[in-house]
Amino acid sequence: MKYKINIINKCEKKFLLIKKIWNLKNDNNSKFSLIIKPNRIELKNNSLSSQKNIWVNFNYKNYQKYKKDKKIKIIKAIKIKKNKFINIIDATAGLGKDAFIFFSYGCKVTMIERHPILSILLFDGLKRGYKDKKIGHLIKKNINIIYNTSMNINQLNIPKPDVIYLDPMFQKKKNNALSKKEIRTIQNLVKYDLNTNLLFQKCFLFCKNKVVVKRPKNEKTISKKKPNYNIKTKKYRFDIYLK
């Protein structure tokens, strides 16, 4: 099945590759535009003219910013200790911010993203990240992406990770890792049709040590299973499920 989106082609080589791998179909009436430029690929929300286009950046500037922030609760949730290398699967990668935070703290990260447009942005961000003069070699070695649904996690021929991280799309609201306009764009782009309880069960069976689930602070848990503990911030919480 082809995914329909308005395609603005400014780089024929990239366009042909994307069209072949992701099976896209041009739709001039789409609410979104995928802008394929020689230097990067961007997503435009055609209904929000004041919003800047969205693209993924895996670069040294962001790497330094995350690495210097010792108070990031997400790091406490996955319990990354100094000099300990952890393998993590971000099973709902989105735009890859959390995955890049994990990488910045020394983790080996596999991102899984089921939505074609988000996965295109991630692939493009990684490809540009490989060229970063300071950390490109580290990105190439320690971050990869799989375009698939995490519902198939036990069929993807990947090693079991220490930790699986879940940040599923919510019906009412999304976490604040992105700006509000970006949140609206992603919510409109990605349909809420994922059985999160089943996804959690599959991830819990597949991981070695634990699953970490990000939730709005006052929302119910993703599963009937009670988390072993949680870590809270002002607007959201991390539910931790130990094996």
Give residues with Cβ within 8 angstroms of 227, minimum separation 6: 213, 221, 239, 240, 241
Pairing of strands 3-9, 32-36: parallel
Do the annotations mark residue 98 as ligand-binding?
no
Consult the annotation and say whether 42 binds a ligand.
no
- Contact status, residue 94 vs residue 118, Cβ threshold 8 Å: yes
Q: Are 209 and 162 in contact (CB under 8 A)?
A: yes
| Distance of alpha carbon 2 from alpha carbon 23, whole angstroms | 5
> Using N-to-C axis directions, what is the helix angle for 116-129 and 180-189, rounded to 10°?
130
184 annotated binding-site participant? no
How far, rounded to the nearest angstrom, does the alpha carbon of residue 122 sit from its chain's CA centroid? 8
Could you tell me which residues are annotated as the binding site? 113-114, 167
Could you tell me which residues are annotated as the binding site for S-adenosyl-L-methionine? 113-114, 167
